[in-house]
Structure 1
Amino acid sequence: MKIYISVILMMATITFYAQETNDQYQKWSAGRPDGHAPISVMGDHMHGKGEWMFSYRYMHMNMGDLKLGSDDTTTDSALNNYMVTPTNMPMNMHMLGAMFAPSDKITLMVMFNYLSMEMEHLTRMGGAFTTEVSGFGDVNLALLYKFFNKNQQTLHGQLGFSIPTGSITESDVTPASTPNETELPYPMQLGSGTFDPNLALTYLGQNASISWGSQVKGVFRIGENDREFRYGNRYNLNNWLAIKVADWLSFSARLEGLIIGEIEGTDPNLNPMMVITADTTNSGGTFMNGGVGCNIYLPTGALKNLRFGFELAAPLYQDLNGLQLKNKETLTFGAQYAF
């Protein structure tokens, strides 16, 4: 938490100094392909009074193989301590979002998502099985407030929270429960079960052909859900640089630092000795991720302000708490239309 506050203060100081020391008065503009951050970054921009924007994003994330801390390990090693180990977990997420600006200073945002996940397993006896879940996740609401837009730089804050509409009681049939379904471990649940506030601060800058940005964000888990646990807090710092190569095209590179806290509490329906994903000591970690992508923007015509974004990201470093599947590639594609 102290690190999170320090980063916010540092960003605010740097951007305020830049605002005061540049004599040229020119507003930062979203009307160019690099006027939005890479498509994987949420809440990166604001809108003018009366403007709406609707968006769709698709994200595919894959996890596979095992890590113990920062070191690779084997399924055989995991099965020495647990009856079951996961081997692979693909996840697909569809996100629908809307933004509306009642004034030049304030933009309101809402985000809905639909998830589908699979987890493949091996048992100590040599068997294999797969569990699957799908459904709607938590709904996210936020208010964005613009502090300034001057000298081709802008700074805005975000205050939001999630509504726990996603299920935390998803179940499926496993070899040990056949023919009945049993509740699945934490990574296979669709929501958090708690009202989770979030805070963010985003700085953007640009010149004639290059744009850059930085966003620090924290998601804070408060209270305890109906299953007597809560997920760990989440802190991330995103930095990106984009090059505008045409009025309709830009390319971007992104670097993210991410810290996820360990799950607190224990779901009484889960046996932590059965599978590694039911043991809360095997949750959370520290990550550094990198991504490359592009934005396509239509500056004129009947579909003016329609844009498409694409990004491929992968972990550069990960140090996991306990024994977990390691993160692999993440693919994000999206479309945004403002009017």
Structure 2
Amino acid sequence: MKLYISAIFLMASLALFAQDTTDTLPKWSAGRPDGHAPIPVMGDHMHGKGEWMFSYRYMYMNMEDLKRGSDDASFNDALQEYMVTPTSMPMHMHMVGAMYAPSDNITLMVMFNYLSMEMDHITRMGGTFITEANGFGDIQVSGLYRFFNSNQQTMHGQLGFSIPTGSVTESDVTPASAPDEVELPYPMQIGSGTFDTNLALTYLGQGNINSWGVQLRGIFRFGENDREFRYGNRYSLNNWFAVKATEWLSFSARLEGLLVGEIEGEDPNLNPMMVITADTNNSGGTFVNGGLGFNVYIPSGALKNLRFGFEVASPLYQDVNGVQLRTRETLTLGTQYSF
């Protein structure tokens, strides 16, 4: 944890003292290994006029055991209130994106994703079972606008929307419903079912062998979906610092603060007394996550502008509403190619 704290304080100090009004330094550049943020950060950079970029990311998130507030909780504790509790939930996400810049100050972005999840459960009687869900999620479309790029610093804003193409009616067979399928609880749904607004502001700075960035993002949900609920708003503050080891390799540290609101409304097909994941009181919370990773950039040759990124992240602090699965590790890797 000390490494993450040191990295963020160093980033903040450099960002403060890097303010230079003489405009004698070159513009911020993406043409270096630390020219992009750590791979989990979306919408972190822009492109020059006429430039395209295609990307693929794979993310694995593992949730295991329980937390009540900021404390660890036992399965027996949860089973005193509910008939069923989950014990673990691995999730796999594949993300494919495209970016195009019609001008130097505007970049357009679209992203598609495919999710695959399973959740292990234990019942009050000691039985176990697994439910699964998979499918294409919501489509994300965004526009990015650059406010300035000078003195090795740049800032841009993002306005995006989420198109509710993902399912909110995923179903599977449980011991209580066999042989019929029953609708799965909120964490096992693929989409949001609502048109969501995505706003972000990103600041980037560079030195000769290092770079840093700060991104403030909010996801705002309006109305209700077909199941009479909506997921909570999400607010995140991402901070990262990277060191350029060579012309093709950089290492990064990232610190993220995340606030997730409670689910509003209630799906009439779910019984909140049955399992903790069907109770909207067990949703949302406050999280602090830290990540370490690297970026590889090919600066010349036939594969010029091809990138590879990797990061492993874990929670440094979790304070959940009610009782929820505990987040463990998150692995993200991906590749990006621009031309």
**2:245 alignment partner, SS class:** strand
| Alignment of structure 1 residues 58-207 onto 2, 5 Å | 58-207=58-207
Q: CA deviation at 1:15?
A: 7.8
Greater mean alpha carbon deviation, residues 182-191 or residues 24-33: 24-33
Matches within 5 A, 1:208-223: 208-223=208-223
Indicate whether 1:36 and 2:33 are aligned: no
Partner of 1:21, secondary structure, is coil
Q: Give the match for residue 333 of structure 2.
A: 333
Taking structure 2 as the reference length, the TM-score comes to 0.95
Deviation of residue 273 (structure 1)? 0.0
Which amino acid counterpart does residue 116 of structure 2 have in structure 1? Answer: S
8 A contact 2:15–2:212 mirrored in 1: no
When residues 16 and 242 of structure 1 are mapped into structure 2, their CA distance, relative to the original with a 3 A threshold, is closer
CA-to-partner distance for each residue in 1:243-301, whole Å, 9 max, x for gaps? Answer: 00000000000000000000000000000000000000000000000000000000000
1:244 paired to 2:236: no
Cα deviation, residue 24, structure 1: 1.8
Distance in 2 between residues matched to 1:153 and 1:312, nearest whole Å: 27
- Equivalent residue, structure 1, for 2:56: 56
**2:144 and 2:118 mapped to 1: Cα distance?**
35
Contact 1:15 1:155 in 2 (8 A): no
Q: What is the CA-CA distance between 1:26 and the residue it aligns to?
A: 1.2
State the 1:240 CA deviation: 0.2
| Aligned-CA RMSD value | 1.3
Specify whether residues 292 and 48 from structure 1 end up closer, same or farther in structure 2 by C-alpha distance, changes over 3 A only.
same
* 1:285 equivalent in structure 2: 285
- The CA distance in 2 between the partners of 1:155 and 1:205, in whole Å, is 9
Indicate the SS of the match to 1:187.
helix
C-alpha contact (below 8 Å) 2:20/2:151 kept by paired residues: no
Letter in 1 for 2:143: L
Deviation at 1:338, TM superposition (A): 0.2
- Percent of paired sites with the same residue: 75
Which residue identity is paired with 1:221?
R
Q: Which runs of 5+ in 1 are unaligned?
A: 1-13
Q: Which residue is equivalent to 1:314?
A: 314
Q: Aligned AA for 2:159?
A: L
| Aligned match of 1:304 | 304
**Residue 22 (structure 1) shift:** 4.3
Report deviation, 1:17: 9.9
CA contact (8 A) 1:261 1:283 kept: yes
Q: Could you tell me how far apart the structure 1 residues matched to 2:152 and 2:205 are?
A: 6
Opposite residue 274 of structure 1, the aligned amino acid is M
Q: Distance in 1 between matches of 2:231 and 2:15?
A: 33
Which residue of the partner structure matches residue 294 of structure 2?
Answer: 294
Superposition misfits of 4+ residues, deviation over 4 angstroms: 14-20
Deviation at 1:16, TM superposition (A): 11
Report the equivalent of 2:262.
262
Give unpaired runs (5+ residues) of structure 2.
1-13
Q: Give CA deviations for 1:103-150 in whole Å, capped at 9, x if unaligned.
A: 000000000000000000000011000000110000000000000000
Could you list the per-position Cα deviations for residues 82-101 of structure 1 after superposition, in whole angstroms to 9, with x for gaps in the alignment?
00000000000000000000
- 1:220, 1:233 within 8 Å by CA — same for their partners in 2? yes
Give the Cα separation in 1 of the matches to 2:235 and 2:309: 24
Find the aligned partners of 1:104 and 1:15 in 2 and give their Cα distance.
Answer: 24
- After superposition, the Cα gap between the structure-2 partners of 1:50 and 1:23, relative to the gap in structure 1 and judged at 3 Å, is closer
SS of alignment partner, residue 286 of structure 2: strand
One-letter code aligned to 1:161: F
Contact 2:87–2:120 (CA under 8 A) maintained in structure 1: yes
Give yes or no for contact 1:15–1:203 (8 Å, CA) kept in 2.
no
The CA distance in 1 between the partners of 2:53 and 2:195, in whole Å, is 25
Distance in 1 between the 2:307 and 2:162 partners?
Answer: 27
TM-score (ref. length: structure 1): 0.95
Quote the offset at 1:324 in angstroms.
0.2
**Partner secondary structure for residue 87 of structure 1:** strand
Q: For residues 30-72 of structure 1, what are the alpha-carbon distances to aligned partners after superposition, in whole Å with 9 as ceiling and x for unaligned?
A: 0000000000000000000000000000000000100000000
